[in-house]
Amino acid sequence: MHDYTPAGDGVFALEQVLMLQTGKPYPLGASFDGEGVNFALFSEHASRVELCLFDATGRLETHRIALAACTNGVWHGYLPQAKPGQLYGYRVHGEYAPQRGQRFNPHKVLLDPYAKAVFGQFAIDDANLGYCPQDQTQINTQDNTPVAQKAIVVAEAFDWGDDTAPQTPWANTVIYEAHVRGLTQLHPDIPAAIRGSYAAIAHPVMLAHYQRLGISAIELLPVHLHADEPRLQKLGLENYWGYNTLSFFAPEPTYWSGREGTTPLAEFREMVKALHKAGIEVILDVVFNHTAETDELGPTLSFRGIDNASYYVLNAQHPEYYENWTGCGNVLNIGHPRVLQLVMDSLRYWVSECHVDGFRFDLAPILGRVNGGYSLCAPFFAALAQDPLLANTKLIAEPWDIGAGGYQLGHFPLAWAEWNDQYRDVMRKFWLHDGVNRALFARRFAASSDTFYRPHRQPSTSVNFVTAHDGFNLRDLVSYNHKHNHANKEHNRDGHSHNLSWNCGVEGPSNDEGVKLLRLRASKALLATLLLSQGTPMLLAGDELGHSQQGNNNAYCQNNDITWLNWGAGSQADGELIDYIAELIRIRRECQALSSNTWWTSQPDAAGVTDVVWLNPSASPMQPHDWDDHGGRAMMVWLSNQFLILMNASAHQVHFHLPPLNEGEWTMRLASTGDTQSDFSGRDCRVAARSVTILQLKK
C-alpha cells in the first residue's frame, strides 16, 4: 500500500566519525535512551558481529562498525547521537559449514530479530541466498545491501490516555476471527484511503457492526511482518493470510493506511485503543513455530545468518537440513533459552506497548516440544505461567502440528483454551450429513467434556467453531461438495478434501429458491448450535454477510475479492443474518447455563435450577436407545429451566411435545426459519426440517 519511509535526521554523513561505546547486553534490539541507541544482538556461535548503518534510501551502507563487546553470547554497543529513524542491519561472521549446522555469511545484511519497524519488502533475488546458486556447498559472496530489508530504530511515544482493557470473562467471550485487509477492503461506508488497514478496523462503521453483532473480541490473522514465499512470488501470488513471519515485533506495514503523521505502529495502537473503548478485546494470531526463511534452499534474511544452529531445530543426523514439523520448511527452536526469550519478549511487547489482550498460537504443539516430544512441562509453558504480565491474557492453542504426536487436543495447560476441530466436524455431520448420534452431538454441545474436563479446567477451554479462515466459510459449506482451489495455481491439489460440506443439491451459486432456502436454513441451524453450545464460540468474519470464497477452501494466497468481504449488492449484508446472530448472542448471555463457565451436571442447584436437561421430541428424558440411535435427528435441550432449544436435523418436519410446566408458559423467542408463529400452540411445536426453534419460559 505505502512505503514506510523513516525520518532522515537519524542518518549519519559518510565523513562523520562514529565512536561506538561498549553499551549493554540488555535489552536486546535497538533501544533509544534520548541521547543515543544501544544495539544488542544474540549470536552464540559468531566470531564477529558488525553493525551496519544505511542512508534513508536503504541502498547505501554508510558505516560498518564492529561490536567489540560480547556478554553471554550477546554482542552489544552504544552509539551516541543515533536517533529514531536510523536504518540498520548486521553482518555476522563465523563458520559457513551447513553440514555442521552453521550458515554464517558476512556478505549478507541481516534483519535484527528485535526490529520494531522494517524498511523494504522481501523480493526474490539471488543476493539473498547464503549459498552459491550453482553449488549449495559454497558460500555466496554476492552482497545483498540493495535488496536486504533493514531494521528501523523506533522510539514512538503514544498517549494511551484512559485506555482500559475490557477483561471480558471467558464465560462471556464471543470471538470474531478476521483478516485486517479482507474485513474492510470493500466496505463502501469506509473512506477508500483507509480501507484494508488498521485504521479501518476501528472505523466507527466497523465498531457499530461489532456492537450490533454482540461479539466481545476480534481475533486478527497475523499482523507481524511477513514475507511472501519465493514459490508464491513466481506464481504471481501473495501469502495473504500472513503465516510466514519474518519479524515478531514489527507490525505488517502493508496494513497501514499511510496517513500523514502516523506509522504502522502508531496506527495499530490507535486501533487497539478504539476497540477497547468499544468494549472489544484484541487477540493476535501469532506464528512462533517457523519463520519466512523456509528450508535449506531458502533465503538468508535474519535468523539463519545470525546463528542457524541456535535459532532452528536441525536434523540430528544431517544438520544441513531442518526438522519440518510445520510443513513450512523449518522449526523455530523454542527450547533454546535465547529463542524462548525472543518469543517471550515479543509477547510482552505486544501486551505492554500495544495493549493487546491475548494470543492464538499457530501450530501450538511445537511450542511444547522438548527433544522432539510434546510435554506440558515444556519451558515455554512454564515461562508463560509464571509471567505476571502474560499470565492473565487470553491464550488459545491451535492444538496440532504435522510432527509425530502432533495432535494434542485437550492436552494444553489449564489456563489455555483450544481450537476444537472435533466440535466443527461433529456439528457439520449432524446438520449436513448422517452418522452422528445424539450422544456424540451432546458431548460436543456440552463443551466436549469428554476431551477437556479435568480438575480446574473450565468449559470455556473449548473454542467452538464451525468455520475458520482455513477451510470453507459458512456460505461455501452449504454451497459446495468439493473444493475449487484452481486460483491457487496448484491444480486443485491443495486444501483439505474432507470438508463435510453439502451443496444442497447444486454445486456453487444457484438461483433456485428452494436451494437458497435450504442453504439459509442449514446456515442458521449451524449458527444457532454454535452460539448456544457450552464453550467459547468463534465466528468467522463474513459468515454474517453470506460471503463466498467461490468454493476455495485454502485461500491463503488470494489477496482479492475471493477473500475480501462483500458488503454490497449480492451479499446478505441486508441484516438478516446479522440480526439473527445478534439475537442468539443475547440469548446466550441471558442464559445462566451458558454464562456461568461451570460444567453441566444435569442436577438441580440449591435454587432448584437445573443447568441442562436432554429430552427427546416427546418431552421424555433421553434413554440409552435414544442416545445411540444414529437415525435420531431431533432432540430438545432445556437450559437453566429457562430456554428450550428444539433441534431438528432431519429432512422432514418433526412434531415436538413440550415439557409440562408447573408455572408460567412457553413463548417463542427465535426460530431459524424466521417464522415465529406457525405450528406453535404453547404445548406443542412443529419444527421445520434442518432448523432450530428457541422457546423461553415466561412466568
Instruction: Tell me the catalytic residues.
Output: 362, 398
**In Å, how far are 152, 284, 497, 699 from 426, measured between CA atoms?**
48, 27, 16, 35
Q: State the cell numbers at 659.
A: 415439557
8 Å CB contact between 110 and 300 = yes
Q: Work out the angle at residue 692's Cα, subtended by the Cα atoms of residues 690 and 695, and round it to the nearest 5 degrees.
A: 155
Q: Helix 303-311 vs helix 337-352: angle between axes, to the nearest 10 degrees?
A: 120
Q: Is 166 helix (H, G, I), strand (E, B) or coil?
A: coil
Closest CA to 122 of 87, 92, 150: 150
Three-state secondary structure readout of 535-600? CEEEEECCHHHCCCCCCCCCHHHCCCCCCCCCCCCCCCCCCHHHHHHHHHHHHHHHCHHHHCCCCC
573-607 in b/e form (b: 16+ CB < 10 A) is beeebbebbbbbbebbeebbbbebbeebeeeeeee
Rg of the chain, C-alpha, whole Å:
27
Output phi, psi for 327, to 5 deg: 80, 5
**Local structure of residue 636 (DSSP, 8 states):** E
Q: Which of 459, 344, 431, 354 is nearest to 390 (CA)?
A: 344
Specify which residues 201 forms β-bridges with. none
CA distance 6 to 253: 12
In the structure grid, which three cell numbers stand for residue 592, read together? 445462566
- The closest of 326, 349, 160, 145 to 251, measured between CA atoms, is 349
CA distances from 184 to 37, 189, 557, 575, 587 (A): 38, 9, 18, 17, 28
